[in-house]
Structure 1
Amino acid sequence: MQALRFHAAKDLRLEEVDTPRDPAPGQVVVANRFCGICGTDLHEYAYGPIFIPTEPHPFSGAQFPQTLGHEFGGVVTAVGDGVNNAAVGDRVSIQPLIMPRTGDYFAERGLFHLSEQLALVGLSWDYGGMSGAALVNDYNVQVIPEAMTDEQAALVEPTAVAVYACDRGEVSAGSSVLVAGSGPIGILMLLAARAAGATQLFVSDINPTRLALAEQAVPGVIPINARSESVGDVVRDHTEGHVGCDVAIECAGNEHALKSALDAVRKQGTIVQTGLHPGENPLNWFDVTFKDVDVRGSWCYPTYYWPRVCRLIASGQIPAERAVTRRIALEDAVEHGFDALLDPAGTELKILIDLENAA
């Protein structure tokens, strides 16, 4: 089968690899259908290896060359002994986190995403979504609702990131929410906040094209061009008492976006940091104290979110497909996928790779 594999920064190769066929006990083979290109994949392509291990991963044993792709779904083609949560023919979404199930402080408390030995399908596992098929563990597959499309199955992973961040920020009915960064996660964050009951939504970015795409995907959102406008001033001008928003969620991994979130959030509001910052970034900690705000990290998602997020998407409460701007074939993934998403003009949001003919 064909697989898009990472060898080094700016060195992705479409290669022929063996198709997995005989799953071990507790494992599942999935014929991949759609796979999203994530911001993490882009960082690996541009600057990696970052998360991709250069030495065997301490838990999974994987190392590069690495088949990319952790946002995907497909159809089960084989199951190993003892698998009882999926059967051949089931359509599934992949929950890509891999870690010890016992003997780990966080895993034994159900917080698998916080395990120190965490590995990910498509980053530190022998298989990934940008290929014809993948071998995964039984706990990595979630049978999707009948109403969910194959494309939507590939959007569960990034949507889970957004739902968890909204939960971390305690977004609830009537909340006012600023999302800093209008990339794919930013769009999904706005949709998740609205599904949680937020009634006033703001989005900031320096890219006017992406702001326009956010307005199309999330009608009623108030766009803020952070290059020409003060994010905090716009938010205060639109909030009751001119105090700022209840929750600000930073999705850009940019120090200016984080500072604008602190400026825009009201006293005793909450800042949720979702974007990965490349290094130490200064924040005005006097304002953090003076405004009495909470600053919370949001890493991945609890694995038990999968059924909930599937229901939110399948029911239409989170129309995640609105973040998709293009669908491409695997052989076009570098030029029309990775390179297009790294274009500073930023005319694309979420690009899905159609793997129907990749096996």
Structure 2
Amino acid sequence: MTMKAVRYYSKKDIRVEDVAPPSGPLGDDMVLIEPLVCGICGTDLHEYIAGPIVTPATPHVYSGATLPQILGHEFSARVIETGRNVTHVKPGSRVSIQPLISPRDDYYGRRGLFHLSEKMACVGLSWEWGGMGERAVVNGYNVFPVPDTVSDVQAAMIEPAAVALYGVDRGGVTSGSSVLVSGVGPIGALVLLAVKAAGATTIFVSELNPNRRALAQQLVPEAIVFDPRETDALQLFRDHTEEGVGLDVALECVGAEASLNLCAEAVRRRGTVVQVGLHMKPAAVDAMLWALKDITVEATWCYPVQIWPRVASMIGAGILPVEKIVTATIRPEDVVEQGFEALLDPKASHMKILVDMKA
């Protein structure tokens, strides 16, 4: 018996092939799952363009996984079987996958900071299984049951939404905040939704791509959306804040130097800049400006894994409509052409592409 899986071999080499499914007795703390819907992430794109980066060319220090890698770390699933120690889900349970895997007993694990372990692995990137396969085995702590108010598509979006919500948390965005979201890729779009959910009342969006500006305006109609190349952004912020002091919080969601510096310029004295986007190279910053304004700069990595039920409840309540950023749903067979290549097309209007594993 075989199963279909999307496997990453190396740069520009992703294959849809038949592989052996998980077999043998299930570990006491493990769960056998059937992936339902799986997102393509920016991390997956980086691997495709320039990898292997985080996918393991040599056996992973903690998981032992090695290439080729079944992709997919943003996904929903149905439980097929559970190990005897797993009590929070049962066969048939619909779940969202929290993909981070790390020791429970190292320095960070003992403190509940599982996302900071130096040995961290990730389902779909550095683990034997991933969301773009018909079956997968994960740890009990990787599966979170979702209520009926959360669809399979929404459950697949909890992982990127967790990244976004963590950034908004770290910025201290609250009801009445004035906020800049710089960059509206998939994470920036979710940050925009999370900022709205947190109660921000003056929301600015900086984005170069006209398609993405249009989507941002649809997501939050009252947001002030602009192209930083064509707008005097600082004048715009002055015009919309008390005494022209600037904004409470700016969230950098691009990973670009110009975007980071715009955020530092945007905030008022004692404001907060949150680094959400990942920078692929060093950025030159005006550290003197940071000092003069007495600002706080927060940088984020992943998310605290305990955030899952909170994201699910926000989605279920309708205040975090994550499904609105999905621009296509495709079959696993079409993942390279209609998924990876479509997302890399600079003229395309795609934001988030999901793979329907049941299609």
Q: Same fold (TM over 0.5)?
A: yes
Any residues of structure 2 matched to 1:69-218 within 5 Å, and which? 69-102=72-105, 104-218=106-220
Secondary structure, counterpart of 2:264 in structure 1: helix
TM-superposed deviation, 1:315: 1.1
Aligned mate of 1:243, from 242, 245, 255: 245
CA distance in 2, matches of 1:59, 1:244: 45
Aligned to 1:23: 26
Aligned to 1:322: 324
TM-superposed deviation, 1:273: 0.3
Q: Which moved more, 1:248-257 or 1:87-96?
A: 248-257
Aligned to 1:226: 228
Aligned to 1:65: 68
CA distance in 1, matches of 2:290, 2:96: 39
Code of the aligned partner of 2:288:
F
Secondary structure, counterpart of 2:262 in structure 1: helix
Aligned to 1:256: 258
Q: Tell me if structure 2 keeps the 8 A contact 1:233–1:264.
A: no
Q: Which moved more, 1:206-215 or 1:17-26?
A: 17-26
Say if 1:47 and 1:230 are closer, same or farther in 2 by CA, change over 3 A: farther
Aligned to 2:269: 267
Aligned mate of 1:42, from 42, 45, 50: 45
- Please report the TM-score for the alignment, with normalisation by the length of structure 1: 0.97
1:88-111 Cα offsets, whole Å, 9 max, x none, are: 000000000000011x11110011
Code of the aligned partner of 1:324:
V
CA distance in 1, matches of 2:97, 2:195: 23
CA distance in 2, matches of 1:340, 1:266: 39
TM-superposed deviation, 1:346: 4.0
CA distance in 1, matches of 2:30, 2:293: 50
1:52 matched to 2:32? The reply is no
Secondary structure, counterpart of 2:36 in structure 1: strand
CA distance in 2, matches of 1:82, 1:91: 18
Say if 1:46 and 1:159 are closer, same or farther in 2 by CA, change over 3 A: same
Secondary structure, counterpart of 1:301 in structure 2: coil
Say if 1:346 and 1:285 are closer, same or farther in 2 by CA, change over 3 A: farther
Q: Tell me if structure 2 keeps the 8 A contact 1:232–1:261.
A: no
Unaligned runs of 5+ in 1: none
CA distance in 1, matches of 2:246, 2:348: 29
- Please report the TM-score for the alignment, with normalisation by the length of structure 2: 0.97
CA distance in 1, matches of 2:15, 2:215: 31
CA distance in 1, matches of 2:228, 2:50: 26
1:143-187 Cα offsets, whole Å, 9 max, x none, are: 001111010010000011111101100011100111111111111
1:12 matched to 2:8? The reply is no
Q: Tell me if structure 2 keeps the 8 A contact 1:187–1:218.
A: no
Aligned mate of 1:352, from 338, 351, 354: 354
Secondary structure, counterpart of 1:331 in structure 2: helix
CA distance in 2, matches of 1:69, 1:217: 26
